[in-house]
Amino acid sequence: MFQFLVILFICIIPSLSYGIQKTKVFILSGQSNCAGGGNGELLEEKYKINDPGIQQFTQIQGTRAWRPLAPYPRIAEKFGIDKLAFGPELVFGRELRSHYPKQQFAIIKQAKGGTSVVAWDKDYKSEDWLKNMILAGHDPEGKRKRDPLYPVLLNTVKEGLSQLKDPYEICGFLWFQNERDSHHIKTAVEWSKRVIELAHHLFEDIGASKDLPIYIMEPHYFSKRIETPYTEQLMEQIKILTHESTETTAERLQSAMGLSNISQEEFKELYMKAVGRNLSSLTQFHITGQMRSKLIETLEQRPKTFMIEVDDLPTYEGIHFTSEGQTRIGKRLFQAYQKTF
């Protein structure tokens, strides 16, 4: 009888350990839209609830630690927000828990505003790294100087994982950055490749599979999208034309919209009223279109890579997403996550 109980005990213990549900971990990184400019005081009540089933590891007021997922305290006022702000992780995390209440989740986040993806290159000690940083606008002697961020991200992830008490599994990499790389054609067309390389290096360095899902924010056009009778048509034609290799000009855009019957001055005024920028912005829009086109190619080449569409979402000034924008981004992230099953 005693021998039978011993054998039964030995058999049961491993089965119990194998049955422990692992915490699902997501890694989130990027620049200012990753940090987030949503107003925490405007959140729906269901997103404000303190839920211990979803934790976040990030640096707040100089300290990195695991905390329940919640809006973060603003250090300085921005966009009228002087108390609490939130990024894409807040609503994404809440949606995860709402749909999978028995599952534990964790998000590790590292962000740096106004920064090129080049700053996160693993090979940051090479001469090419410095050249590419300068090309992206990060003059080592100027105010946009940036230190290498790959070791910062890697150390943040490793530190966070080491402090998790329960078994875990890495479930994906979320990348919310592109604005800084949309000012020069070279950095733009290399951007999606760099993002994938960053994710693969990170997965490798933490012992995760390179086949894990990668979620990437869509390159968006810096437009205020002021509501006019032509805004929707204008932005749709900009998106179409800028995906082509031929330079996007005011003449081509005017013709594509079927507005050859008005003068160039009238079209210029129409454009500025809808976009909130002058016609010189078409140069930057064309670069954004080429950037987006390369990302779409990447999606076709790498399985489990998802583009989170954001170009239709509201911004404060054409770049940073509002509270509504950040909320909808979080929901779209969750929808993309569901596609991995």
What's the rounded Cα separation, in Å, for the pair 301 and 285?
25
Question: Is the Cα dihedral 180, 183, 187, 192 positive or negative?
Answer: positive
What confidence score (pLDDT) does residue 76 get? 86
Helix (H, G, I), strand (E, B) or coil at 244: coil
Q: Which fold has domain 22-222+293-338?
A: Rossmann fold (3.40.50)
DSSP state of 323: H
What confidence score (pLDDT) does residue 101 get? 95
Spell out a b/e string for 274-305, using b for 16 or more CB atoms within 10 Å of the CB, else e. Answer: bbbbeeebbebbbbbbbbbbbbeebeeeeeeb
Per residue in 166-177, pLDDT tens? Answer: 999 999 999 999
Mean pLDDT over 144-169 rounds to: 96
Other residues' Cβ atoms within 10 Å of the Cβ of residue 220: 22
Mean pLDDT over 123-136 rounds to: 94
DSSP state of 168: E
Model pTM score: 0.91
What confidence score (pLDDT) does residue 74 get? 87
> Is 121 within 8 Å of 198 (Cβ atoms)?
yes
Helix (H, G, I), strand (E, B) or coil at 296: helix
* 3-state per-residue secondary structure call for 61-110: CCEEEEEECCCEECCCCECCECCEEECHHHHHHHHHHHHCCCCCEEEEEE
What's the rounded Cα separation, in Å, for the pair 30 and 176?
5
pLDDT range class, residue 139, cuts 50, 70, 90: confident
pLDDT exceeds cutoff 50 at 218 = yes
What confidence score (pLDDT) does residue 19 get? 58
Distances (CA, A) of 62 to 74, 75, 78, 113, 330: 13, 11, 19, 16, 25
Closest CA to 58 of 117, 108, 20: 108
Per residue in 292-314, pLDDT tens? Answer: 999 999 999 999 999 999 999 99
Token pair in block for residue 174 = 């979320």
pLDDT exceeds cutoff 80 at 272 = yes
> Is 334 within 8 Å of 99 (Cβ atoms)?
yes
pLDDT exceeds cutoff 80 at 260 = yes
Distances (CA, A) of 14 to 6, 17, 18, 321: 13, 5, 6, 48
Other residues' Cβ atoms within 10 Å of the Cβ of residue 231: 18
> Is 226 within 8 Å of 273 (Cβ atoms)?
yes
Can you list the pairs that 72-75 forms with residues at least 24 positions away whose Cβ atoms lie under 8 Å?
72/36, 72/40
Closest CA to 309 of 289, 340, 336, 283: 336
**What are the strands of the beta sheet with 72-73, ordered from one edge?**
38-39, 84-86, 72-73
Per residue in 13-29, pLDDT tens? Answer: 443 344 578 999 999 99
pLDDT range class, residue 263, cuts 50, 70, 90: very high
Share of the chain above pLDDT 70, in %: 94
Distances (CA, A) of 143 to 35, 114, 140, 155, 238: 20, 11, 8, 25, 32
The structural domains of the chain, with segments of one domain joined by +, span: 22-222+293-338, 225-276
pLDDT range class, residue 60, cuts 50, 70, 90: confident
